[in-house]
Amino acid sequence: MQNFIETGLRPEILESLEKMGFEIPTPIQAEAIPFILDSDNDLVALAQTGTGKTAAFGLPILHKIEPARNEIQSIVLCPTRELCLQITADIERYSSNLPVSVVAVYGGEPLYKQLGALKRECQMVVGTPGRVNDLINRGKLDLSSVRFLVLDEADEMLKMGFKEEMDAILAQTPAMKQTLLFSATMPPDIESITGRYMQTPHKISVTSRNETASNIEHQYMVTSASTIYQALRRYADMHPDIYSIVFCRTRQETKDIANKLIADGYNADSLHGELSQGQRDQVMGRFRKKHLQILVATDVAARGLDVTDLTHVIHYHLPDDPENYVHRSGRTGRAGKSGISVAIITNGELKKIKMLERQIRKTFVRKPVPKGMDVFQTRLANYIVSLESMDVHNPVLEELPALIEEKLSHLSKEDLIKGIVAKEFSHIYEDYKNAPDLNVTSERVSSDRKGRKRKDTEKGNRFSRFSINLGRKNNMRPDLLINIINRHTPEYKIQIGRIDIQSKHTIFEADWHYKQELVKAFRKAKYKGSPLMVQAFQNNAR
């Protein structure tokens, strides 16, 4: 398929696409659109974020929808409010020449607004599983006329704990419908859904599992745990045109890092789960307009963000799941442009880099943390470039020639330039002239390892055994356990050893240094509304 005209889509849709500048379908669109147009069979499509999935299912559904029927003919389920709003906005643009109404339903907004929209004419609903299920239980959302069911980023919905809601929603839809499942990966839970709710689905895939785009360069810098923030600052300073998302593990960390960046003069802000929808929209509006250069976010908060032209993705902490790394890094290098994914790690995480290289089949390039004077010289050079491009014919300046002449005429051009630069950069020079080297060299790595070995030998074995009251019946997985531990112990980097998932509980090993902290962190913790309990085995260090 060379262009959208060859798809056979309605002229009204093609006209909208032309206005939007859409000419050539992406690979997922080229495969999914003809299939959905020509077949009523179910579809499983494997595609990463940013590959054009919304158009892949949205365009053929709009083609097949009957605008004259005032009933819900299609429902799209997605994991987050941001993705819900983005899908709705995209479909509204695709259908700008059609009398089709699309309603978004999601948490974080007063229910009455969405109820009012549903009472009016509505052919398509886009929603998050929690709010959709709530509306069904209230008797306010009737899915009996649905002809098209879309599960977008189905793997993420399952990771976020929406399996029960998804099962309940799918049970309310007609048996005779076309189900379209889009996912970046194919974990066992997705296989379960396809087996229960889909009829011999056709499968397409435009990327291999856990692979990232070829136009993304993967980098890492090695520093100590106490200097990760300073390494982040130096990296940003060396890239003055940076437009980036910085990924952190917890809400609190996103707030802390963003606040530090703002205090240090960067155009930055944070995106996390404690923000109201209005606050999130405001932050994202500023970021999309590039009034912010750096957005600090968690994986969950950043799901569904459709932002183009990102130059960098920065991993303040590497994710535990390689699939999350693929999702993160895939937010740069879109639409044929190049991008950089850089991880700031400690020497203890070098094994993670090697593991990621094997799993995503990419080579990571080690980059040095910029040295202080390198940063200073780069900032100075960029400032001089900005002076060169300055508009000297500013009307304000033209009104002040006498004052300028009176105050500055005794200075030579050389002295004036030196004075301006010194005024702007003397404090930066003072900050960086004696700045320490933040790199962890191979010698320091070797020394650290020896030190750790001596410490472990002196104090005994490294791991202790614990149990947690979640097991196979709770759909426990190793990556889920690690995410739960990280979420409840954000201030520590606790190393996890062996994991043994049993029927009703899981036994795992964790760094014995954090034995008390780990048990204490879970005393009031909950998972899906039920209390969590972590217990340490006695005398079990090994």
CB 77, CB 136: distance < 8 Å: no
Q: Is the pLDDT of residue 261 over 70?
A: yes
> Cα(306)–Cα(317) distance, rounded to whole angstroms?
22
Tokens (6 digits) for 290: 């590039």
Mean pLDDT of the chain: 83
CB 510, CB 463: distance < 8 Å: yes
Give how far Cα 71 sits from Cα of 74, 112, 146, 448, Å: 9, 19, 8, 66
Q: What pLDDT is stored for residue 542 in this prediction?
A: 45
Beta-bridge partners for 526: 531
Domain 4-205 has CATH 3.40.50.300: yes
Q: What pLDDT is stored for residue 193 in this prediction?
A: 81
**482 Cβ contact partners less than 8 Å away, ≥ 6 residues apart:** 320, 321, 496
Q: What pLDDT is stored for residue 509 in this prediction?
A: 86
Q: Is the pLDDT of residue 197 over 80?
A: yes
Q: Is the pLDDT of residue 134 over 90?
A: yes
CB 343, CB 367: distance < 8 Å: no
Q: Is the pLDDT of residue 145 over 80?
A: yes
Domain 459-536 has CATH 3.40.50.300: no
CB 286, CB 308: distance < 8 Å: no
Determine the average pLDDT of the residues in 123-133: 95
Q: What pLDDT is stored for residue 538 in this prediction?
A: 66
Q: What pLDDT is stored for residue 455 in this prediction?
A: 40
Low-confidence winner among 13-17, 98-102, 203-207 (lowest mean pLDDT): 203-207
Low-confidence winner among 58-72, 135-149, 198-212, 286-300 (lowest mean pLDDT): 198-212
> Cα(463)–Cα(512) distance, rounded to whole angstroms?
5
450: pLDDT confidence band, cut at 50, 70 and 90?
Answer: very low
CATH superfamily of 216-371: P-loop containing nucleotide triphosphate hydrolases (3.40.50.300)
Q: Which strand (E) or helix (H) includes residue 341? A: strand 339-345
Q: What pLDDT is stored for residue 400 in this prediction?
A: 64
Instruction: For helices 81-94 and 11-20, give the axis angle rounded to 10 degrees.
Output: 110
In the chain, the percentage of residues whose pLDDT exceeds 90 is 37
> Cα(305)–Cα(246) distance, rounded to whole angstroms?
13
Low-confidence winner among 82-86, 105-109, 176-180, 393-397 (lowest mean pLDDT): 393-397
Determine the average pLDDT of the residues in 174-192: 86
Determine the average pLDDT of the residues in 223-249: 91
Q: What is the CB neighbour count within 10 angstroms for residue 75?
A: 24
Q: What residues does each domain of the chain span? A: 4-205, 216-371, 373-432, 459-536
Determine the average pLDDT of the residues in 366-393: 78
Output 349 or 181, whichever has higher pLDDT: 181
Q: Is the pLDDT of residue 243 over 80?
A: yes
Q: What pLDDT is stored for residue 456 in this prediction?
A: 40
Q: Is the pLDDT of residue 49 over 80?
A: no
Determine the average pLDDT of the residues in 449-458: 40
Tokens (6 digits) for 468: 């947690």
Convert the pLDDT of each residue in 293-344 to its tens digit.
Answer: 999 998 766 666 667 789 999 999 888 777 678 878 888 887 667 899 999 9
Ordered DSSP codes for 170-189? HHTS-SSSEEEEEES---HH
> Cα(499)–Cα(434) distance, rounded to whole angstroms?
46
> Cα(123)–Cα(139) distance, rounded to whole angstroms?
18
Residues 490, 254, 484, 532, Cα dihedral to 10°: 80
Report the b/e string of 319-341 with b at 16+ CB within 10 A: bbbbbbbbbbbbbbbbeeeebbb
Q: What pLDDT is stored for residue 461 in this prediction?
A: 46
Q: What pLDDT is stored for residue 389 in this prediction?
A: 67
449: pLDDT confidence band, cut at 50, 70 and 90?
Answer: very low
205: pLDDT confidence band, cut at 50, 70 and 90?
Answer: confident
Q: What pLDDT is stored for residue 475 in this prediction?
A: 82
Q: What pLDDT is stored for residue 169 in this prediction?
A: 95
> Cα(472)–Cα(462) distance, rounded to whole angstroms?
27
CB 456, CB 462: distance < 8 Å: yes
pTM over 0.85: no
Convert the pLDDT of each residue in 386-445 to its tens digit.
Answer: 666 666 666 666 666 677 666 777 777 777 677 776 676 666 777 677 778 888 765 444
Determine the average pLDDT of the residues in 463-474: 88
> Cα(295)–Cα(289) distance, rounded to whole angstroms?
12
Q: What pLDDT is stored for residue 445 in this prediction?
A: 42
Q: Is the pLDDT of residue 59 over 90?
A: yes
Same fold yes or no, 216-371 and 459-536: no
Q: What pLDDT is stored for residue 503 in this prediction?
A: 82
